Chains A and B, each alone.
Chain A
């Protein structure tokens, strides 16, 4: 727990020191404008909830993806990765603390997107199922952080984690149905979407903004939690294996 909190504290300081880490808070309102413009131009104000939810997922995914990627890369650049690995604290806990802190800060994008929708387009986002919304949002944040730990494990071995990060945005936006529901994707894509937690949480979050009753809430929420937990477990296990391997082969500081 101390390692987790220490990681979270360090990450928050990094975010304050490096404006580049705040990118999603500048792009989330712009993405909201793009999506709202498209829906308003098409005369589909009924899709406001879609336009308000998607930028939040983009911001959260970006934060988790790029912070986990950059965490390892900057540790390598700074020559501190060896010290972090050699320290008695859990490497995974420190990394998870950093990712979790970033993801938690990402919740600000909820407010940004909704304020932009309100102020620029006069659209109101109404939460019709508060309990379900809070539970889904919390599960989504946890799953986002857990999945990012899994990615961080991959990034340890990646020669250029940023190249990987840059490529892993839109494929997951499509598979995760963050704007266009998975039900509109071709049938052959849907099994892939089913193992991406974004698809379950995006459906749920949109449903909480709709007055209609939510069907199968608990099974859907369970899938978000399960897939996030899988990402975290795989990440931790992979980190252990990878660290043993790179310590043995001396590849740890190879950049």
Chain B
């Protein structure tokens, strides 16, 4: 019961953080325009290639990637706790830091998922992307799955870099572009060598995105379900690793004093 309270207050705290970052105006005229532009930027490559199939592939991939990108931004959270001087208070409390961190970032994931869907809904029709009805509705929960899966991965990474605040932005940005390169966002993973394809299947986004492509392309449900299963496995795997390791990284930081406010 106390864990539920911790989660609830963490979510509330996260939501307050969120609205201190964005106003409705800056969200619409800043963030949404950026998301639409990002999806358009990649969809236009298909126009350059004079290929409708490439356009659709790049458009869907990069719209869904927004969910993964936003979830990766949650990496900023533990380091901003350090910057604000609140990490030591959190560590001194009886709650598990990883529970607080996971719950506080839920608003980031929700925003990422919503942004991805918005990008798909706005840019898709502009490039003639068809949404088969009613199965296209499945894109909503699948995009949520991709966002959550990427969030589990980023929570694990957050633990890894919690003692290295000076490289936080570097890790966030390189992770996002690496995921764009590897997870079937811009080219099918089957294009990679076998060994790389096997590795890529362990990453978040890959299977969830395949499932979304399958839904839109009218693939058999068995194929879609297999990819959903793959993404669920990836999400739970990264969540388990995050839960297992986060505390260790925190304790290591406490031992060597690398979690202090000023570093």
Cβ B37 vs Cβ A26 within 8 A: no
Contacts of B37 in A (CB 8 A): 170-171, 173-174
Contacts of B170 in A (CB 8 A): 19-20, 22-23, 26
Complex CA gap A33/B178 in Å reads 9
Cβ B44 vs Cβ A167 within 8 A: no
A-B contact pairs, 16 of them (CB 8 A): A19-B166, A19-B170, A30-B178, A37-B186, A38-B49, A38-B187, A41-B191, A42-B49, A47-B48, A50-B48, A163-B26, A163-B30, A164-B30, A166-B34, A174-B41, A184-B44
Interface majority SS (helix, strand, loop, mixed), chain B: helix
Complex CA gap A170/B43 in Å reads 12
Contact with B along A204-242 (1 / 0, CB 8 A): 000000000000000000000000000000000000000
Interface residues of B (CB under 8 A from A): 21-22, 26, 29-31, 33-34, 37-38, 40-41, 44-45, 47-49, 51, 54, 58, 166-170, 173-174, 177-178, 180-181, 186-188, 191
Complex CA gap A180/B58 in Å reads 14
Cβ B34 vs Cβ A171 within 8 A: yes
Rounded to whole Å, the gap between the CB of B124 and the closest CB of chain A is: 16
Contacts of A166 in B (CB 8 A): 30-31, 34
Contacts of A47 in B (CB 8 A): 48
Rounded to whole Å, the gap between the CB of B75 and the closest CB of chain A is: 12
Interface residues of A (CB under 8 A from B): 18-20, 22-23, 26-27, 30-31, 33-35, 37-39, 41-42, 44, 47, 50, 160, 163-164, 166-171, 173-174, 179-181, 184-185
Nearest CB in chain A to that of B30: its residue: A167
Selected from B29, B31, B49, B168, the residue in CB contact (under 8 A) with A44 is B49
Cβ B44 vs Cβ A174 within 8 A: yes
Contacts of A31 in B (CB 8 A): 177
Whether A42 touches B22, Cβ cut-off 8 Å, given contacts A19-B166, A167-B34, A174-B41, is no
Cβ B177 vs Cβ A27 within 8 A: yes
Contacts of A184 in B (CB 8 A): 44, 47-48
Whether A180 touches B174, Cβ cut-off 8 Å, given contacts A37-B181, A164-B30, is no
Rounded to whole Å, the gap between the CB of B49 and the closest CB of chain A is: 5
Of A27, A163, A168, A180, which is in contact with the most chain B CB atoms at under 10 Å from its CB? Answer: A180
Rounded to whole Å, the gap between the CB of A7 and the closest CB of chain B is: 22
16 more contacts with CB within 8 A, not counting A20-B170, A31-B177, A47-B48, are A20-B168, A30-B177, A34-B177, A38-B54, A38-B186, A39-B49, A41-B187, A160-B21, A167-B30, A171-B37, A173-B37, A174-B37, A174-B40, A179-B48, A184-B47, A185-B44
